[in-house]
Amino acid sequence: MANLFGWKDILRPIRDGYRHLFPTPDTGPTPEERHRQRELDRLKGFTYFDTANTPLLPRRRAQTKHVSKADVLLVHDYAGNYHDYESVQLPGVTKKLYICEYLQHVDTFIYFSHKLVCVPPPTWTNTLHRNGVKALGTLLIEPQTKDSGRVLEHVTSAEGMTFPLVNKLVFIAQHYGFDGYLINVEKPFPSDVWDPKVLESFLSQLKCELGEAKQLVWYDALTTSNKVSYQNALNTSNITFAKACGSLLTNYCWTEADAESSKQLALRNDISLCKVFFGIDVWAQNTTTLSHPRVTYPEKGGGGTNTGVAVAKLTTLGLSAGIFAPAWSFEHFPNHEREVERAIWEGEKLPSDLTCTCGDCPSRHQANAEYAISKHAQEFAAGSENFFYTDSSPAFGRRSDGKKDLSGRSLHAQLGQQSILPQPKRVANDSITLTHFLDDTTIEPTLVIEATTISPPADPRIKQSDPWLYLPLYNLNMPLTRKLQLRSSLRKPAFPTALEIEVYIKIHGDYQILPTTQIRNGLFIDTILSGQQGTSAHVIEELGVRARGIATIKGPARVLWISSIGITPVSKHQVWQNASITNVHTIHRGATETQQLRLRWSYEDATSTTAAQGMPQSDITGLVSYFHIKIDERDLGRAYALEHVISPDIVTKVGDPEVIVEIMGVGFDGRKVVEWNGIMRRHECEEGYEWVGEEGEAGV
């Protein structure tokens, strides 16, 4: 039989079986197209000019009796990235796009795009930091990258090697406010500059200069022999670079044997197991060609709706998971994005009418509730040990009056505003079901608690013997070693209801009901929480609501609206009493078609005491989390910096030589820190015109 086949016929199956070990050809944009896109990115305000101001919240692991679970790293590669909805300017959108609703289960988030140095947009970094998630950029060397050998350029002295690129990479991370890099080298270095010890020194210096608070992750591509050969494991071919970086992300074609051998090698070399991330390719569940198969753990059916199977396996081994392309559901299921994402993370059922381009969707993509990612991924507590705040802001918003914005769209993106989200929960007993959702149509965003009556009793009156149904909203881990103040704004329905609902916290296993005070616009909670001084025996473990009774006879009913919840250290002084905004003016950025007008101002405060009190503090905006901007009563949204883009639409609409500008600084705990109200007058300048603010009214 052998003589019936040519040698190509015999070798082709072998080649195809190993095709996934080789890098796929570059199908991205040309260098000229990338250059044009970068210029457009400048105008949209992705990076280059904009910085992230929100400090990384130091999270603790959630209070749980369960065994330790796998840390999760996300590699966010979403259709090339740098999308309009990631802009700082509240762009209008036609539908809600990927935001990741499960940040309580994410340790590190890597923003990936096909650029040499990929900087996370400040909207992502601000939201990730607010939720305690590290935001990493990417240093990517691809087959088409020119002059890649310059990465290893260095100066040798008595102190060792010094790499100019290290200084640039460190400056970029510090300036834009993100937390480190994924190092992905997909191309061998030129032989005349290659030396594995030089690359090791480069990585070691970069890690050292970034500092202990930052993170560096080596991707399993280039080996110590200067070959791009995915090992799918920690082994002798990549351990040198992994140790220099401090973390390793393997390729996604690993087996259980690869993971076990990696674990043993890490233990022998004092590498923390939680720093060894095994790649999981979400796209591997899709239909692929024989020439370009995609394989991930488990080999049959891995990825997609079975992504949690790999996370569960890594949990049993004490290793970590690196999930490639978590926005898969938004690319592959354009009409059921969130339903599929919730199936992957929460174990929810898939829609019965689900279709995709694979052609065999019902059999290929099946729900797997037992292996939902959230069941096997490490959970982190919301907030820090001394601070928690949420204003219920979603990543997408609508105008409450039903009107459209200047672009003609009623829905807009506000990715950088996304607050700490409640954990996804639906609870029920024999009488009622409780659930929640974020309402993005109100003037002030709210977390809505919704109740549905299952079986109305013959007597609807509430009895003391009726059982309470508890709905946890946030898992916390806040030791009461000092006094903490809990404040919350909420309201109940105006109409009478036979449902009793209360807000609670759980301390050391005991539920405590929070007393409310009636105010003009609803209800307010303001209470001091304290435990035994000098001990951590009393810990705030949970915050939620409980209810009993019936809501309505038919259909769900909204029974509670929560605008904000904050838990902060008790302060004897107003630390923001010396805050001020000055020097309000406009500036021009860029040139020709990429020129933009920006509102700019100076800000000062006395921040010396905030760190000691456990409150967040920004290197850029001090006590202020964001500035709310209005021009002639037009809402420009929030600025997480000391300047804000004025869109061409606003410039066109505001044609008057004088405009009224309002700038209000809001603290990390939601309180107003400072405001400036004044008139800005238009003056001619070289760029055409500018506005300069007159002395306005500023104060707390």
Cα 415 to Cα 100: distance, rounded to the nearest angstrom: 10
Taken in order 127, 128, 132, 136, is the CA torsion positive or negative?
negative
3-state secondary structure of 332: helix
CB 102 within 8 A of CB 133: no
pLDDT at residue 17, as a whole number? 47
Other residues' Cβ atoms within 10 Å of the Cβ of residue 26: 13
Q: Which domains does the chain have, with CATH numbers?
A: 69-375 (3.20.20.80), 426-569 (2.60.120.260), 573-695 (2.60.40)
Write phi, then psi, for 49 (nearest 5 degrees): -105, -30
Residue that has been written with the tokens 């709905």 in this structure: 471
pLDDT at residue 20, as a whole number? 45
Tokens for 162, please give them.
Answer: 């010094």
Strands (E) across 388-483 are located at 388-390, 396-398, 411-413, 427-428, 432-439, 446-453, 469-479
pLDDT at residue 345, as a whole number? 98
What's at 688, amino acid-wise?
Answer: G
Question: How is 180-234 classified by DSSP, letter by letter?
Answer: EEEEEE-SPPPTTT--HHHHHHHHHHHHHHH-TTSEEEEES-B-TTS-B---SS-
pLDDT at residue 99, as a whole number? 94
**Any idea of the CA torsion for 456, 467, 523, 556, to the nearest 10 degrees?**
-30
Q: Is the previous residue joined to 298 through a cis bond, with omega within 30 degrees of 0?
A: yes
Strands 180-185 and 134-141: parallel
- Bridge partners (DSSP) of residue 485 are 528, 568
Residue segments in the chain with a per-residue pLDDT below the cut of 70: 1-31, 34-49, 64-66, 289-292, 399-408, 442, 458, 460, 496, 532-536, 553, 572-577, 590-594, 607-612, 648-656, 686-691, 693-700
CB 527 within 8 A of CB 503: no
Cα 417 to Cα 657: distance, rounded to the nearest angstrom: 32
3-state secondary structure of 470: strand
Write phi, then psi, for 318 (nearest 5 degrees): 80, 15
CA distances (Å), 341 to each of 344, 393, 501, in order? 5, 20, 31
Cα 444 to Cα 462: distance, rounded to the nearest angstrom: 32
Cα 660 to Cα 677: distance, rounded to the nearest angstrom: 7
Cα 116 to Cα 138: distance, rounded to the nearest angstrom: 8
Cα 329 to Cα 322: distance, rounded to the nearest angstrom: 17
pLDDT at residue 7, as a whole number? 47
Residue that has been written with the tokens 């036979």 in this structure: 498
For residue range 590-626, list pLDDT tens digits in order: 666 667 788 999 999 876 555 557 889 999 999 999 9
pLDDT at residue 45, as a whole number? 45
- pTM tops 0.85: yes
